[in-house]
Amino acid sequence: MDQIRKQISDGSERYDSELIDRWDKIAERLTRREDTSVMGRSLAQAIRGGVAFHHAGLTHNQRKTVEEAFRQGTLLAIVATPTLAQGVNLPARRVIIRDHRRWSSIGGGSMPLPVMEIRQMLGRAGRPKFDDSGDAWILAKDEDDELNIVELYMLSEPEEVTSKLANPSAIRAEEDPALLTHLLSVIATGGLRDRDSISRFFDKTFLATQMSEQSLESRLDDVIGWLAENGMITKEGESEEVLSRIKERENSTSETEDWQDEMPEWAKTGE
């Protein structure tokens, strides 16, 4: 990004004066709207060179300004974190992935990015409605790194999609912050005020396809118990309405259909 700005300022790269004026106007608009933070000043300086950066540390207005300017073809390039690869449809003719590893606290070191994540980034190049084609590059440090990249990201299958609603390997409720958070949320704001409603809600989630019904119900019981013990919810017992609903559903599932198993006439003719 600094090299592009330098090329513009020293004249080694020539750009239309109207385009440079548009860069200046966008930068001025940002500095007027945003406070004079280091981040805001750095972004404005980059935009004056025809480029920008995009990451979660930017304000909503800053991100939208960068995205819109790039979508209109005003900005030449965006340097971004992997967050930009998640669902932002931008007309990138070319995508360059400089680093395919990042620090992992779980692994205790630099680990390769997931195949799914790399493919999401590569898929930003040549978006429909914007370009007829696109090209994507992953930079390799040496020949060995190149072979590893090809093996891992070109020849391997993406990871299986798994639900993030809960941690299947958790043994205790406190080891499953995702499910604790989501369950408390649907109780507080989703109107799920009884155990039966909670079961019916989670039975329709992707998580229910990856855990057995018994395991999911047991996990929900543990999480509900933890929330109650820690004063986040209050258990009052099931109401008559809920008990009636459960009984009605049990009766409907226990009914068996009366099948007529007599041999049809057309089959008798073959005897």
Least confident of 33-37, 60-64, 114-118: 33-37
Residue 257 domain flag: no
Q: Is residue 105 part of a domain?
A: yes
Given a cut of 70, whether residue 174 has pLDDT beyond it is yes
Tokens of 118: 């790399």
Q: What is the pLDDT of residue 239?
A: 62
Q: How far apart are CA 187 and CA 198, in angstroms?
A: 8
Q: Which residues contact 61 (CB under 8 A, 6 or more apart)?
A: 30, 33, 34
Q: Mind giving me the DSSP string for 121-174? A: HHTTBT-TTT-S--EEEE--SSHHHHHHHIIIIISSPPPPP---SS-TT-SSGG
Mean pLDDT of 152-158: 93
Domain identity same for 198 and 72: no
More confident residue, 222 or 12: 222
Pairing of strands 101-104, 109-112: antiparallel
19 in any annotated domain: yes
Burial class (CB in 10 A: 0-12, 13-18, 19+), 265: exposed
pLDDT at position 56 over 50: yes
Domain ranges, residue 218 = 173-251
Domain annotation covers residue 50: yes
The reported pLDDT for the residue numbered 172 is 92
Max Cα separation, the chain? 97
Please give the mean pLDDT across all residues of the chain: 84
Are the C-beta atoms of 75 and 51 separated by less than 8 Å?
A: yes
Which one-letter amino acid corresponds to residue 124?
Answer: R
Residues 93 and 204 in one domain: no
Domain contains 46: yes
- Residue 259 clears pLDDT 80, i.e. is over it: no
Residue 103 and residue 114: Cα distance in Å, rounded? 13
Q: Are residues 104 and 179 in the same domain?
A: no
Instruction: Look at 126-135, 151-160, 182-191 and tell me which has the smallest mean pLDDT.
Output: 126-135
Percent of the chain with pLDDT over 70: 79
pLDDT at 168 over 90: no
My answer on whether 191 and 77 are in the same domain is no
**What is the number of other CB atoms lying within 10 angstroms of the CB of residue 26?**
21
> Do β-strands 77-80 and 94-97 pair in parallel, antiparallel, or remain unpaired?
unpaired
Mean pLDDT of 153-161: 92
pLDDT band at 270 (very low <50, low <70, confident <90, very high): very low
pLDDT recorded at residue 13: 60
For residue 267, tell me if it sits in a domain: no
Share of the chain above pLDDT 90, in %: 51
Say which range, 72-86, 179-193, 223-237, 238-252, has the weakest mean pLDDT.
238-252
Residues 93 and 209 in one domain: no
Q: Are residues 115 and 218 in the same domain?
A: no
Q: What is the mean pLDDT of residues 118-126?
A: 89
Question: Do both 7 and 79 map to the same domain?
Answer: yes
Give 196-216 pLDDT, tens digit per residue.
889 999 999 999 999 999 999
pLDDT at position 247 over 60: yes
| 74 and 206 inside one domain | no
Say yes or no: 217 and 138 in one domain: no
251 or 66: whose pLDDT is higher?
Answer: 66
What number is the average pLDDT over the span 115-125?
90
- Determine the pLDDT at residue 262: 58
Asked whether residue 126 is domain-assigned, the answer is yes
Residues 6+ apart with CB under 8 A from 48: 5, 23, 24, 27
Is 261 contained in some domain? no
pTM above 0.85, yes or no: no
Task: Please say if the pLDDT value at position 261 is more than 50.
Answer: yes
pLDDT of residue 228: 92
Given CA atoms 36, 39, 40, 45 in this order, what sign does their dihedral have? Answer: positive
Are 195 and 116 within one domain?
no
- Residues 142 and 9 occupy one common structural domain: yes
How many domains are contained in the chain? 2
The torsion angles phi and psi of 25, rounded to 5 degrees, stand at -65, -40
**Are residues 18 and 82 part of one domain?**
yes
